[in-house]
Amino acid sequence: MARWVVIFEDHPREIGDPIRKNHNQAHFDYLAEHSDRVLIGGGLRPSPEEWYCGGLWVIEVEKRDEAVALIENDPYFTLGLRKSYRLMIWGKAPNYGPVTL
């Protein structure tokens, strides 16, 4: 299995806020349903007092197309919250030893 990192960029608050408010449970249910592959995820903000501007996931799957399917079937993606995303394979530095998520 390979670990992948996804960094999402969201649409501005005026577009994204209604999607988050109306569909956050569907998004969280989706993450729970796929928690065997989406190991950890959460929203990103420029600072604690600012609104969300994106998100980050760590995914564990064999192939890139599996990661893309997870990303693009998430309600936040299908409903238009996500403006874009970057998907990269992640290799940890050797000095850290085993990483358990």
Domain CATH number, residue 30:
3.30.70.1060
Q: What is the pLDDT of residues 11-60, one digit of tens each?
A: 999 999 999 999 999 999 999 999 999 999 999 999 999 999 999 999 99
Please check the confidence at residue 99 and state whether its pLDDT lies above 80. no
Total domains in the chain come to 1
Q: Which of 92, 74, 97, 98 is nearest to 5 (CA)?
A: 92
Q: What is the pLDDT of residues 46-95, one digit of tens each?
A: 999 999 999 999 999 999 999 999 999 999 999 999 999 999 999 888 88
Is 100 domain-assigned?
no
Is 99 domain-assigned?
no
Is 101 domain-assigned?
no
Q: In which domain, by residue range, is 10 found? A: 2-93
